[in-house]
C-alpha cells in the first residue's frame, strides 16, 4: 500500500515539495505519494489529525504553522527542541514526533551548493518567527564573528536570542529592530521573514551589504523577490533564493521518514530549468 505524506501550510499552492519528493521516491525506489494540504489559519491541528486518521505517515509544515507543529507533538528531536519550532512531523504509533530540518537545509545550501562558509563572517538574520527559530542555532554553530537577528518588533528578536541554548562559539549574538541596522553592514544577509510571499520588502536601511556579500531569501519563486531586488540594487555581490534550501531540508525529512538520504543536485537543477 502506497505511503502518504503531505506539506501543510497557508498558502501552499506554490509549494514544489510534491515534485521534490516524487523525484526522491523515484531515485530511492520508495513507494509513496506526497500532496499539498491547505489548512485554515485556525485549523492546522485539525488538518494534521484528519490527514493522520486517513492514513498519512508524516508531513512537512510551512508558514505560518511551524510553532503550532512543535506544540502538537509528543516527542521532539534536539534540533526541534532548540528551535521551539518544527517543519517535519512523523506519525509514530500513537504519537507525533517533531523535527526541524530547516537549519540543516539552509547550511547545506549556503556552504555546499553556494560555497559560502560562515565562520568569522558577519551574518544578519531577518525575522524572528518560526523560520528564524529553525535556523538560528545551526547558524550559530558555524561560529560567525557576529550574528544579528533583526525584526520589525525588536523585543521579539531579543527574546529569540535570549532563549536560544547558549554554546561557547565566540560569536557576538544580538537581537534588534530593523531601524537599529542603520550604519552597519554584513557579509551574509538571510531573509527569514514571510514578506516575499506578499511581494513586500521589510523596512531595511541602505548600506546593509558589505563587499563580496551574499543576499539569501528563504522564500523562492519566479524572478527576484523584493528583498533580492533591493539587495542587488544595494550592491550585494550574489543573490540566491531558498529553492536549494527547500530541496536540502526535504532530503533531511525524507531521511527521517524513509531511512535513506536522496541526492539533491539533480533535483535542484531540474527545478531551476525553464
Specify the 3-state DSSP secondary structure of 236.
coil
**What burial letters (b/e) apply to 71-96, b meaning 16+ CB within 10 Å?**
ebbeebbebbebbbbbbbbbbeeeeb
Q: Which CB contacts under 8 angstroms, 24+ apart, belong to 233-239?
A: 234/206, 234/207, 234/208, 234/209, 235/209, 236/189, 236/209, 237/209, 237/211, 237/212, 237/213, 238/114, 238/213, 238/214, 239/214, 239/215
Is residue 66 part of the annotated active site? The answer reads yes
| Torsion sign, CA atoms 242, 225, 15, 18 | negative
Residue 102 contacts residue 87 (beta carbons within 8 Å): yes
Residues facing residue 3 across a β-bridge:
32
Residue 236 contacts residue 36 (beta carbons within 8 Å): no
Alpha-helical regions (H) of the chain = 17-28, 44-53, 66-72, 78-83, 102-108, 130-141, 154-163, 226-233, 243-258, 265-272
Residue 234 contacts residue 209 (beta carbons within 8 Å): yes
For the chain, the farthest-separated pair of C-alpha atoms sits apart, in whole angstroms, at 59
Choose, from 16, 66, 163, 222, the residue flagged as catalytic.
Answer: 66
Residue 168 contacts residue 196 (beta carbons within 8 Å): no
The cell numbers describing 22, all together, are 516524487
| Catalytic positions, written as ranges | 66
Amino acid at each position: 500500500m502506497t505511503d502518504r505524506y503531505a506539506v501543510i501550510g497557508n498558502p501552499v499552492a506554490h509549494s514544489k515539495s510534491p515534485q521534490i519528493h516524487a523525484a526522491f521516491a523515484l531515485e530511492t525506489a520508495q513507494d509513496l505519494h506526497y500532496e499539498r494540504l491547505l489548512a485554515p489559519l485556525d485549523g492546522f491541528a485539525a488538518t494534521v489529525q484528519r490527514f493522520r486518521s486517513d492514513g498519512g505517515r508524516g508531513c512537512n509544515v510551512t508558514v505560518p504553522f511551524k510553532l503550532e507543529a512543535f506544540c502538537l507533538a509528543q516527542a521532539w528531536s534536539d534540533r526541534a527542541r532548540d528551535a521551539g519550532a518544527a517543519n517535519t512531523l512523523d506519525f509514530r504509533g500513537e504519537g507525533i514526533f517533531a523535527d526541524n530540518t530547516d537549519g540543516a537545509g539552509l547550511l547545506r545550501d549556503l556552504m555546499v551548493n553556494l560555497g559560502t562558509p560562515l565562520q568569522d563572517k558577519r551574518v544578519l538574520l531577518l525575522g524572528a518567527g518560526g523560520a528564524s527559530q529553525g535556523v538560528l542555532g545551526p547558524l550559530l554553530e558555524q561560529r560567525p564573528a557576529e550574528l544579528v537577528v533583526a525584526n520589525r518588533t525588536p523585543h521579539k528578536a531579543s527574546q529569540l536570542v535570549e532563549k536560544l541554548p547558549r554554546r561557547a562559539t565566540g560569536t557576538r549574538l544580538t537581537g534588534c529592530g530593523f531601524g537599529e541596522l542603520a550604519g552597519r553592514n554584513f557579509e551574509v544577509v538571510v531573509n527569514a521573514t514571510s514578506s516575499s510571499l506578499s511581494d513586500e520588502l521589510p523596512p531595511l536601511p541602505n548600506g546593509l551589504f558589505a563587499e563580496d556579500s551574499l543576499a539569501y531569501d528563504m522564500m523562492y519563486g519566479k524572478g527576484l523577490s523584493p528583498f533580492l531586488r533591493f539587495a542587488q540594487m544595494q550592491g550585494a555581490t550574489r543573490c540566491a533564493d531558498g529553492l536549494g534550501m527547500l530541496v536540502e531540508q526535504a532530503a533531511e525529512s525524507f531521511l527521517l521518514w524513509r531511512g535513506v538520504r536522496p541526492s539533491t543536485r539533480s533535483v535542484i537543477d531540474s527545478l531551476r530549468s525553464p
